[in-house]
Amino acid sequence: MEKWYERFKDKAFTYYWESGEAEAVHIVRDCATGVNTTGKWIDVVSERTITEHSESSAGLYWIIAELFPRIHKPEYTDDTDYNRYLTWYTAHNDICEHRSKNHHGEKFFILCELIKKKRIVHEKEREYIDRSVIDSCRVNQKNINSINKLKSAEILKNIRENGNLSLSSYLMSFFFKNGF
């Protein structure tokens, strides 16, 4: 059975939905209250899941996003699915245009906790993972390069040890301590 997004016959759009990038964009846009996305397109630069199983937590998940000013505004229709495609298509083209001109947007690090939850689906209880934003902060390219080199175990250990700090305080102290 064809999925709703396959009707557009666009491999890049299908990848966007199936890879989880669409969910990451949703989290940045709708859940990361410290990131103002008004009038901006969201480009997911990096994302990673760090698993640490416990009864309620499945670990941590982070997103590094870059925001670009909107160049074009799509003309929406009454077709919700088509509007999703149109939004992605316009954002994708605007971001490509910015990158072709070597423009750089604001970059943000968003940290989420993966929370185990249960719901009833077709009269059966199913477990699923929900993402809850813990904190977000602005980062630069040097910070991003450092974050992407870190091992998951290091990050978890450091975050757990410094759990009372805000994310920006934690990252800044981590970068300062490690010479980043």
pLDDT per residue rounded down to tens, the chain (180 residues): 789 999 999 999 999 999 999 999 999 999 999 999 999 999 999 888 877 666 666 777 889 999 999 999 999 999 999 999 999 999 999 999 999 999 999 999 998 888 888 888 788 888 888 888 888 889 888 878 877 776 656 666 666 666 555 666 666 566 556 554
Q: Tell me the one-letter amino acid at 30.
A: D
Contact partners, residue 96, CB within 8 Å, separation at least 6: none
| Cβ atoms of 59 and 51 closer than 8 Å | yes
Q: What global pTM score does this model have?
A: 0.82
| Cβ atoms of 25 and 42 closer than 8 Å | yes
State the alpha helices, DSSP H only, in 1-79: 11-18, 21-26
Q: Which helix (H) or strand (E) holds 139?
A: strand 124-139
16-58 per-position pLDDT tens digit: 999 999 999 999 999 999 999 999 999 999 888 877 666 666 7
Reduced to 3 states, what is the DSSP secondary structure of residue 82?
helix
Reduced to 3 states, what is the DSSP secondary structure of residue 41?
strand
